[in-house]
Amino acid sequence: MNNTKPYPLHFKPEFKERVWGGRALERFGFDVPQGAIGEGWMIADHPNGISHITNGEFAGKGLDEIRSLVGDTWFGAKGASDNGRFPLLIKLLDCNDDLSIQVHPNDHYDRLPKGELGKTEMWYVLDAKPGAKIIYGLEPGVDREALAAAIEEGRIMECLQEVSVKAGDTFYIPAGTVHALCAGVVVAEIQQNSDTTYRLYDYNRPGLDGQMRELHIEDSLNVIAYEDTGATRMSTDGAQAGQWLTLASSPYFVTDKGVVDGKWDQATNGESFVVLIVAEGTGSIDWSQGHVDAKAGDCFLIPANLGSYSLDGEMTILRSLLP
């Protein structure tokens, strides 16, 4: 086993072109490839995308390689997913246009692709243009029969709830929740390590290849939670410096928001790694063996066995760990 001492891992994202993407992720200083870039897979260990470490002894290595090099101690007692990969997928999304109306299955859906998990996720709105909105759930009383009829008759939008959004809003989206990000928002997304999405409606728009994108009506109708999905939302304007505000608590992750104003001591407990997303500002992460600079858009994986570390500077941080 590698004897490298644990340190905060910083990642180079893998970028994904999407028909609804744009160029907003350039604002974080990333070397964004040409095209309509909708997603930065910031911390990713999935067959469809691997992020690579930029710092320290493991620079250049993919997240998929690290567990074999360091064992489970860096990831914590809770740190392995059911499919043996890193259990979370961390993204930044640039929604230059509306995303498809979609829903995700849970882990128990019998038609999941082989090796895939369900997908419970959450969004934190990093930026929103005036008038920006999202689709968040069904209108009250819409059941499978009513939704199927609306889809057949081309009036699905009548069945969906629209919600206005602003920077700092957060949305918890359990599997089974109908949802869609809309034009004019940039979000951080924390989710199960899954790439399974069922589309209900895509505005009759062609994809990047000029062909109509596939819809998944039957699977969508099967996995939607029509009664109560457990979805919650909140504004985080009241977050206080030096205190963690819980944004979402699920069986798969707990995510908090923290405002850093000067030095703020932290520690891991060996049970779970910690994912840090810098939502805004600049600062650093310091530990007994070193220091790494941090700025808006950066994502770090703090090993479960790092122990004491501190955040310093003026930053807004999203912290995710396993429950």
- Give the single-character DSSP code of 269: -
State how far the Cα of 8 lies from the Cα of 301, in Å rounded to an integer.
Answer: 6
Strand, coil or helix: 239: coil
CB 176 within 8 A of CB 103: yes
Closest CA to 13 of 131, 108, 92: 92
- Active-site residue (options: 199, 205, 213, 319): 199
291 annotated as ligand-binding? no
State how far the Cα of 218 lies from the Cα of 199, in Å rounded to an integer.
Answer: 10
Is 199 catalytic? The answer is yes
108 annotated as ligand-binding? no
**For 294, how many CA atoms within 13 A lie in the half-sphere containing its CB?**
29
104 annotated as ligand-binding? yes
Quick one: which H or E segment has residue 287? strand 274-287
The sign one gets for the Cα dihedral 181, 187, 192, 193 is positive
Q: State how far Cα 153 lies from the chain centre.
A: 33
CB 309 within 8 A of CB 287: yes
* Residue 206: strand pairing partners: 212
State how far the Cα of 158 lies from the Cα of 142, in Å rounded to an integer.
Answer: 10
Q: And the tokens for 241?
A: 């410096």
Cα separations in angstroms, 43 against 8, 10, 64, 312: 13, 9, 10, 22
Q: What is the largest CA-CA distance in the chain?
A: 63
Strand, coil or helix: 273: coil
State how far the Cα of 106 lies from the Cα of 158, in Å rounded to an integer.
Answer: 25
Strand, coil or helix: 294: strand
Catalytic positions: 199
Annotated binding site: 104, 121, 179
Annotated binding site for Zn(2+): 104, 121, 179
